[in-house]
Chains A and B, each alone.
Chain A
């Protein structure tokens, strides 16, 4: 039997393919996009109130005072509902939370706050995601820890779940 080495070339290429793909399956890609603004000052913005009768949100509100959490949410976002009680708990522990309602309508935001509680001191409306884009955020919910001088210290992508609370509290502590 004549053996020709090049007949095994397809097999070798396929083995390489399997290795690469197997590696990817075992290490799923990190699909989250970290904001480049972490460590920098909050960009300037002025957002109108998300619901009538509640305070609006400006970047100036974030520049002073102690550390705070800025939470991007929306009434149409299901994970935000899951996150709501955790934000309530953080508020109970004395954390200042400001909200930015993404692509939302005032009546929907009001209904959301009524049904799931209102942990927010101020809520700005960002109906066309302009501030969200500027912040380098790619979805809702997302939260930023901002220190007393208005510098972004930490970004949390996705809902803050009970197991994330210690991390978020520690980051707020560090920013203080």
Chain B
């Protein structure tokens, strides 16, 4: 019954989304229909949420008469993985996607007060059109509630590799981020339909974009750390297509976040902001499509189904193509906003947007180039880190340099000489750059520049606070400062990783000692160990530096079902870096393959990512708090 209830709720919600679409199309002429839009959006969100909860329940009780549960779960799984298993498969993740989409639509319908009603209704119409397509996809091509007759006695999903807390919560974080951007997309489409683009639109859009951006930042940072410790390759970003698929919406959302602030504060950059809002969610859909269709080869593999791929592609063509068509034909008639000088806050934000867009274009082209090349010339090739690093590295540094001055500039026009204020960070940059020659004469130029710029930016990011009463500084300003500081920290980590990492690769016998950086690592012994469904060889390593000794136990695991080998890296985080050890199978003659890395300051990469997200969260809270105060104060005045 649970499955049937969920399915019925899903059909009802789909019907309501059709009603919502029709009502918002006919709304301008038929007031009775117009009044339906908001309650229908709310009911639709509630029904979809109900369907999702039903699926969650089925997974928790491992109801094997449901095909999806039987294929992806197992009664022996710990409950947390049964729980997370709900969205760890194609159908469940699509249901999660529409759930977030419709709940976001419901919240927008219920909470939004600033937007002109016409635009809100058009926006909800766009949101309903999005939801309708994904409902059709779920119900026609990937029903999560399909029964399996007869029910098997046990489920198939006990893949040990997928039992990892990081993997359980990494995808939904990204999904919430992607779908949060759908609201910005619908708002942009709604505004294009009514031609009402202005500060009110930007203020409505901002919390959604900010929230989505925070979640994407967290998701990408966590994903990067997960790849770092789980894959045992010692790298933190591989320019894998699936990584790029999450990075592209983030880049677009970052640009959007900055251009929204121009629209909200000054009414400028209308065309550009609308385009970014369309592009950000389009990139989310493109990313999801690339990931789910298996069109690009990647370390992430998902079940590939060409029929489903074509379905999503058709939706993509309809939504993105439709929105971009609206943009091309209508945005020219949107009223222009206020102008500004080149040297101004707006000017700096435009430059920020241009740089981010070029990085986005670079990643987009690099990700799809193998496909294009094969389509045109039949040649198979791959685009790797050398291309991505060479292009995005310098652009990121240019972006960081822009941050020295951008936040200090005034809106509209700035003739005040800022040179004295940015003298301090520039001096720090030059000093750090010079110091890098002393530290290591053989460092690469990009790493050297990265260290210099990161040091300077760490100082520059704090300048907006200089001369302010810190207790009265708005939370949003603190958020900006912390995010920008996070950028400095992350760049420092990436540069330090490139510049200072020491690597040793050797075949060692027990009793031998290897050197990596300042550490002496002794392979004490190699012992067999066993887990619930795996056996492993475990290296007992002791690493010493100065008088200090730490133990490391990397494992090479063999899972029996399905037969797989994984390397469990041993990673020890110290205040000044990480020691990273991987052991793999025996060589001839009693020797073991050992890979050792000493990675000074590498943790700064993820610390920086965390700071960037924290800054976004503070800005979100600050704006929300201010919004509430603004609502309450007039009431007090009348009391």
Do the two chains bind? yes
Identify B327's interface contact among A10, A18, A19, A20, CB under 8 A.
Answer: A10
A25 near B321 with CB under 8 A, answer no
> For the side of the interface on A, what is the size category?
20 to 34
A7 near B371 with CB under 8 A, answer no
B313 near A14 with CB under 8 A, answer no
A18 near B324 with CB under 8 A, answer no
Query: Which residues of chain A have C-beta atoms less than 8 A from B563's C-beta?
Result: 76, 103
Identify A24's interface contact among B295, B324, B327, CB under 8 A.
Answer: B295
Identify B310's interface contact among A4, A11, A25, A103, CB under 8 A.
Answer: A25
Decide yes or no: A11 and B371 within 8 Å by CB, A17-B286, A25-B309, A25-B313 being known contacts: no
A7 near B372 with CB under 8 A, answer no
Interface string of A1-36 (1 = CB under 8 A from B): 111100110110011011111111100110000000
From B12-20, B81-89, B214-222, B328-336, give the one contacting chain A. Answer: B328-336
Chain B positions 430-471 with a Cβ under 8 Å from a chain A Cβ: none
Query: Which residues of chain A have C-beta atoms less than 8 A from B309's C-beta?
Result: 25
Identify A14's interface contact among B297, B324, B371, B372, CB under 8 A.
Answer: B324
- Interface set of B (CB-CB < 8 Å, partner A): 271, 275, 278-279, 282, 286, 289, 293, 295, 297, 306, 309-310, 313, 316-317, 320-321, 324-325, 327-328, 331-333, 368, 371-372, 374-375, 563
Identify B375's interface contact among A1, A2, A3, A20, CB under 8 A.
Answer: A20
Beyond A10-B327, A21-B313, 20 additional pairs, beta carbon < 8 A: A1-B332, A1-B333, A2-B333, A4-B332, A7-B327, A7-B331, A7-B332, A10-B279, A11-B324, A14-B282, A14-B320, A15-B321, A18-B313, A18-B321, A20-B372, A20-B375, A21-B289, A21-B371, A24-B295, A25-B310
Distance between Cα atoms of A51 and B555 in the complex (Å): 30
Distance between Cα atoms of A24 and B271 in the complex (Å): 33
Q: List 19 A-B contacts (CB under 8 A).
A: A1-B332, A2-B332, A4-B332, A7-B271, A7-B327, A10-B324, A10-B327, A11-B325, A11-B328, A14-B320, A14-B321, A18-B313, A20-B372, A22-B313, A24-B295, A25-B309, A28-B306, A29-B297, A76-B563
What's the least CB distance linking B207 to chain A, in Å?
25
Interface of B is mostly: helix
What's the least CB distance linking A23 to chain B, in Å?
5
Query: Which residues of chain B have C-beta atoms less than 8 A from A14's C-beta?
Result: 282, 320-321, 324
| In the complex, residue of chain A having the shortest beta-carbon distance to the beta carbon of B324 | A11
Distance between Cα atoms of A3 and B321 in the complex (Å): 18
Chain A positions 120-142 with a Cβ under 8 Å from a chain B Cβ: none
Query: Which residues of chain B have C-beta atoms less than 8 A from A29's C-beta?
Result: 297, 374
Query: Which residues of chain A have C-beta atoms less than 8 A from B324's C-beta?
Result: 10-11, 14
What's the least CB distance linking B380 to chain A, in Å?
8
Query: Which residues of chain A have C-beta atoms less than 8 A from B279's C-beta?
Result: 10
Decide yes or no: A17 and B328 within 8 Å by CB, A11-B321, A25-B295, A76-B563 being known contacts: no
Query: Which residues of chain B have C-beta atoms less than 8 A from A103's C-beta?
Result: 563
Distance between Cα atoms of A126 and B321 in the complex (Å): 53
What's the least CB distance linking A125 to chain B, in Å?
16
Query: Which residues of chain B have C-beta atoms less than 8 A from A17's C-beta?
Result: 286, 368
Identify A18's interface contact among B293, B317, B325, CB under 8 A.
Answer: B317
Distance between Cα atoms of A147 and B289 in the complex (Å): 46
Distance between Cα atoms of A16 and B505 in the complex (Å): 45
| In the complex, residue of chain B having the shortest beta-carbon distance to the beta carbon of A11 | B324
